[in-house]
Amino acid sequence: MYVKEIYLENFRNYKKQHVCFSKNLNILYGNNAQGKTNMLESIFLGAIGKSFKPVSEKEMIMFGEKFSDIRIDYFSSGRDMYNTVRLFSEKKKAVSVNGVELTKMSELLGKLTVVVFTPEELSLIKDGPFARRRFLDISISQIKPKYLHTLSSYNRVLEQKNKLLKEIKYTPSLEKTLSLWNEQLALYGSKIILYRIEFIKRIMETAAKIHREISKNKEELTVKYKTVDFSAENMSEKNIKEALTQLLEKNYDKEITFAQAVTGPHRDDLIFYINGNNSKVFGSQGQQRTTVLSLKLAQKELFLEETGEEPILLLDDITGELDLSRREYLFSKIKNSQVFITCTDTDRIENTKNAKYFNISDGKVCEK
Ligand SMILES: Nc1ncnc2c1ncn2[C@@H]1O[C@H](COP(=O)(O)OP(=O)(O)O)[C@@H](O)[C@H]1O
Ligand SMILES: [Mg+2]
């Protein structure tokens, strides 16, 4: 699959912009704060309906405007397709595929799959658990659209439960409805945990192999999916649901006291180990970057397996983050993909055969 063209209107610092891309390598270069990352963000948004940054829809609309339009034309599953995303400052976005407006966001997924590699993502190991859950959620959604649906249901129930917990403080009689929300949380929560564990099992096999290759067999990467208070690895959905139900009962009073839902996969985390040592605590910056690079390349392999097509790759400013040997390794693995890479200095990009160059300056893209 590959992106053919993109049209932007009022997207961040792009007033009106149309760009035709190469199906191989696209090099977006220019000074800082000109719109390089914004261009990658618009591709990601057009492909999967959200930003790779944790930002609100409103933030992506050009300052002072009320809406933003993105149209992305691409080739996937042997045919030409297009998605449109319209962001509004006052209401939720509208999304369409081939001109048909979608009622469920999950219908957008799986058509144009994307793997991103940004300096922010390189701190995935160091960051708080939110970043790691987000990585899982966005990755799984792209290949298992039903996951997004389950996750939305879970988040809706969680929101209701949190609201109720705050109200119970003032109206104690409301407590009798709490167990109904807990039942729903255990139902959706166990499905989410199972999806995540299956995804991790699959991605880690490849990631560990890649990590071994980059570290020249010196490092063995392993991971643990951490659930609050019980170990869900190797459990069936039914058993996870039971464990979650018991835990919700155990924390029942505590949640009322703190007026906050603290039980469930919205609190889970991933812990990475290198040669058995927790990478977040003991890993060097180099080791942590190797791990993220391995994870991302494994994600690419998994997407290829699932869809039968190479996902597109967005590489934001990686030259400052990865040394030459890691960059060379990366490029050797992504030869068959459409790649978008941003940089301030084109001299520092190797392997530029078949590349198309774009200069980006003050929200304007100029093909060179
Ligand atoms: N909603 C917005 N409206 C207008 N301009 C924006 C908006 N969001 C970000 N910008 C501008 O985009 C520029 C940053 O673009 P970015 O793509 O991050 O730059 P870089 O080329 O360094 O990657 C800044 O000048 C910033 O002011
Ligand atoms: Mg940038």
Whole-number average pLDDT of the chain: 94
Nearest bound ligand to the CA of residue 360: 1
Q: Closest by alpha carbon to 11, among 49, 46, 38, 51?
A: 38
Is the Cβ atom of 113 under 6 angstroms away from ligand 1? no
pLDDT of residue 321: 84
Nearest bound ligand to the CA of residue 365: 1
Is the Cβ atom of 13 under 6 angstroms away from ligand 1? yes
Is the Cβ atom of 170 under 6 angstroms away from ligand 1? no
Is the Cβ atom of 35 under 6 angstroms away from ligand 1? yes
**Separation of 11 CA from ligand 1 center, angstroms?**
9
Q: Which residue's C-alpha comes closest to atom 25 of ligand 1? A: 33
Res. 56: pLDDT tops 70: yes
Q: How far apart are CA 52 and CA 73, in angstroms?
A: 19
Sign of torsion over alpha carbons 89, 95, 101, 107:
negative
Q: Please state the pTM of the whole predicted model.
A: 0.95
Write down how long the chain is.
368
**Separation of 37 CA from ligand 2 center, angstroms?**
4
**Separation of 35 CA from ligand 2 center, angstroms?**
7
| Ordered structural domains, the chain, with CATH | 1-105+309-368 (3.40.50.300), 124-308 (1.20.1050.90)
User: What SS3 state is found at 104?
Assistant: coil
pLDDT tens digit string along 145-202?
999 999 999 999 999 999 999 999 899 999 999 999 999 999 999 999 999 999 999 9
Question: Are 188 and 265 in contact, with CB atoms under 8 Å apart?
Answer: no
pLDDT of residue 319: 84
Who's near 87: CB < 8 A, 6+ residues apart?
Answer: 57, 58, 60, 61, 67, 68, 69, 70, 93
Nearest bound ligand to the CA of residue 12: 1
pLDDT of residue 353: 76
**Separation of 99 CA from ligand 2 center, angstroms?**
31
pLDDT tens digit string along 195-235?
999 999 999 999 999 999 999 999 999 999 999 878 888 89
Q: How far apart are CA 344 and CA 336, in angstroms?
A: 24
pLDDT category at 122 given cuts 50, 70, 90 is confident
Is the Cβ atom of 64 under 6 angstroms away from ligand 1? no
- Per-residue b or e along 267-296, where b marks 16 or more CB atoms closer than 10 Å to that residue's CB: ebbbbbbbeeeebbeebeeebbbbbbbbbb
Which of 9, 10, 11, 12 to mutate for ligand 1's pocket (most ligand atoms within 8 Å of CB)?
12
**Rounded mean pLDDT of 96-124?**
93
Question: Are 232 and 142 in contact, with CB atoms under 8 Å apart?
Answer: no
Q: How many CB atoms lie within 10 A of CB 201?
A: 13
Q: Which residue has the tokens 């080791």?
A: 287
Which atom of ligand 1 is the closest one to the Cα of 317? 23
